[in-house]
């Protein structure tokens, strides 16, 4: 009797390869100073690996848990996993600067010079689905490998993990989170929520208590862990202003930009590869057009790779409905996504169920798409070339006429 097929390995939506968890993460500067030379040499002597072959299909990306290195060891060096991520070129460059600073300090230590004081606390800003959690795990592993952290593990918390329900509970909860992250990274997701005000405009005393405790512990334990705070760009600016000493304790702010339509299409292809399905060339073209329209009409909190996953899952649902109506579907039928399986833009026009996309948090707003410039590399829409006039209501309520080609 044949053995049942093994379950496919979870895939990292940012690299598209089997989810290769980084070593459990954590910081101890004393140990780092004493072992810097040994760690630096071991990193330099690591065998060079041939770059992975280029694939037509790209990798899915979304923030997921790290997992042990795969059997081929292709992600055993954290910096290689960083390089394998789709897009995020600005993020990669900033992280490489952090690596260069650590290597520079290690060289000074070997020569008997004191290291240059550098803060390894970070702020990640940007929309969801841009890989902030994944990059935080990679940073933890890189810090550990360079001797900046004892273990490099990442402890993830949000407001609920730091703020108590009653006065006197918040401080101990924040301290407990720091205790758990000792030797590694404390990753505070949606950190701006700690600085949010109540509905009546008054300050949130619980959130402020958490921020004040974080500032104190960041200073007291700066040699034993790194803190990474993440959230939306504008809101994180409010968070950094919530305490006079908070901004100065974060040495680097890294902006995670939204993915381009081409990157989102590569991420879709990665989801296909991970699930052993294939999209026809025509289906891929339709995905690119859909991603271009979603990108052009994106709202303030566009979900990036998370929205790509939604598109992929909707495509699978349409594919399943189509194939289930066949009498005897074959192997190709069960693994091929056709153009008609790709959802239409109307599926994503609203999330509030109002039907007109006029209120609520909208993933896609057709009015905004009409007024938005076509992203670089986006395919031109085909049509008979007839120019039509359309009245467009902008967000401030004004109306104006706009010429557009059908």
DSSP symbol at 405? E
Q: How confident is the model at residue 301 (pLDDT cuts 50, 70, 90)?
A: confident
Give tens-digit pLDDT for 330-387: 889 999 999 999 999 888 865 433 333 333 334 445 445 443 444 444 444 444 444 4
| pLDDT, average across residues 90-100 | 91
Q: What are phi and psi of 229, to 5 degrees?
A: -105, 135
Is the CB of residue 172 less than 8 Å from the CB of residue 210?
A: no
Report the alpha-carbon distance of residue 243 to residue 234 in Å, rounded: 16
Q: Which residues contact 322 (CB under 8 A, 6 or more apart)?
A: 338, 340, 341
**pTM (2 decimals)?**
0.67
Is the pLDDT assigned to residue 246 strictly greater than 50? yes
In order of 22, 145, 287, 290, the CA distances from 307 in angstroms are 25, 34, 12, 11
Q: Which secondary-structure segment (H or E) carries 170?
A: helix 170-181
Compute the half-sphere exposure of residue 121: CA atoms within 13 Å on the CB side of its CA.
22
Is the pLDDT assigned to residue 192 strictly greater than 70? yes
Sheet holding 226-231, edge to edge: 154-157, 185-188, 226-231, 122-126, 252-256
pLDDT, residue 304, reads 92
Report the alpha-carbon distance of residue 204 to residue 195 in Å, rounded: 7
Q: Quick check: helix, strand or coil at residue 69?
A: coil
pLDDT, residue 323, reads 94
Rounded mean pLDDT of the chain? 76
Q: Which secondary-structure segment (H or E) carries 218?
A: helix 205-220
pLDDT, residue 50, reads 44
pLDDT, residue 198, reads 78
- For the chain, the residue count is 406
Q: Which residues contact 239 (CB under 8 A, 6 or more apart)?
A: 191, 192, 194, 195, 211, 229, 231, 246
Give tens-digit pLDDT for 390-403: 444 333 444 444 44
**Given the structure tokens 């680097």, which residue do they identify?**
252
Give the CA angle between residues 98, 102, 104 to the nearest 5°.
115
Is the CB of residue 190 less than 8 Å from the CB of residue 60?
A: no
Report the alpha-carbon distance of residue 96 to residue 150 in Å, rounded: 20
- CATH number for the region 29-256 comes to 3.40.50.300
List the domain boundaries for the chain: 29-256, 261-380
Is the CB of residue 206 less than 8 Å from the CB of residue 170?
A: yes
Q: With 0-12 CB in 10 A as exposed, 13-18 as middle and 19+ as buried, what is 30? A: exposed
pLDDT, residue 371, reads 39
Report the alpha-carbon distance of residue 152 to residue 226 in Å, rounded: 9
Compute the half-sphere exposure of residue 307: CA atoms within 13 Å on the CB side of its CA.
33
Q: Compute the chain's Rg from CA coordinates.
A: 24
CATH 1.10.620.20 fits 261-380, yes or no: no
Is the pLDDT assigned to residue 102 strictly greater than 90? no
pLDDT, residue 42, reads 53
pLDDT, residue 35, reads 53
H-assigned helices in 73-169: 78-83, 89-110, 132-145
Among 57, 59, 71, 93, which residue's Cα sits nearest to residue 21? 71
């Amino acid at each position: 009797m044949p053995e049942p097929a093994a379950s496919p390995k979870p895939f990292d939506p940012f690299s598209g390869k089997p989810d290769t968890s980084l070593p459990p993460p954590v910081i101890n500067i004393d140990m780092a100073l004493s072992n810097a030379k040994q760690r630096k040499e071991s990193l330099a002597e690591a065998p060079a690996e041939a770059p992975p072959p280029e694939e037509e299909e790209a990798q899915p990306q979304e923030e997921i848990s790290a997992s042990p290195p795969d059997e081929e060891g292709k992600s055993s060096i954290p910096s290689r996993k960083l390089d394998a991520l789709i897009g995020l070129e600005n993020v990669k460059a900033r992280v490489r600067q952090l690596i260069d600073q650590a290597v520079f300090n290690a060289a000074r230590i070997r020569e008997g010079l004191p290291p240059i004081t550098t803060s390894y606390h970070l702020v990640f800003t940007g929309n969801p689905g841009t890989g902030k959690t994944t990059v935080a795990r990679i940073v933890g592993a890189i810090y550990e490998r360079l001797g900046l952290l004892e273990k490099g593990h990442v402890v993830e918390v949000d407001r609920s993990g730091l703020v108590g329900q009653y006065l006197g509970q918040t401080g101990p909860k924040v301290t407990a989170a720091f205790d758990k992250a000792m030797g590694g990274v404390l990753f505070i997701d949606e950190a701006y929520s700690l600085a949010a005000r109540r509905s009546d405009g008054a300050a949130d005393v619980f959130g402020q208590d958490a921020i004040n405790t974080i500032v104190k512990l960041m200073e007291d334990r700066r040699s034993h862990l790194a803190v990474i705070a993440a959230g939306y760009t504008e809101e994180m600016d409010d968070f950094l202003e919530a305490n006079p000493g908070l901004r100065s304790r974060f040495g680097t702010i890294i902006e995670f930009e939204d993915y381009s339509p081409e990157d989102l299409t590569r991420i879709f292809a990665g989801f296909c590869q991970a699930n052993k399905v294939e999209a026809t060339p025509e289906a891929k073209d339709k995905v690119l057009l859909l991603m271009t329209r979603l990108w052009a009409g994106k709202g303030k909190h566009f979900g990036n790779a998370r929205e790509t996953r939604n598109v992929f899952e909707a495509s699978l649902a349409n594919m399943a409905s189509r194939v289930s109506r066949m009498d005897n579907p074959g192997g190709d039928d069960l693994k091929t996504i056709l153009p008609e399986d790709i959802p239409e833009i109307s599926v994503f026009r609203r999330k509030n169920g109002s039907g007109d996309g006029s209120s609520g948090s909208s993933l896609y707003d057709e009015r905004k798409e009409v007024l938005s410039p076509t992203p670089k590399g986006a395919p031109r829409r085909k049509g008979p070339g007839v120019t039509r006039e359309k009245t467009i209501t902008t967000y401030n309520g004004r109306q104006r006429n706009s010429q557009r080609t059908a």
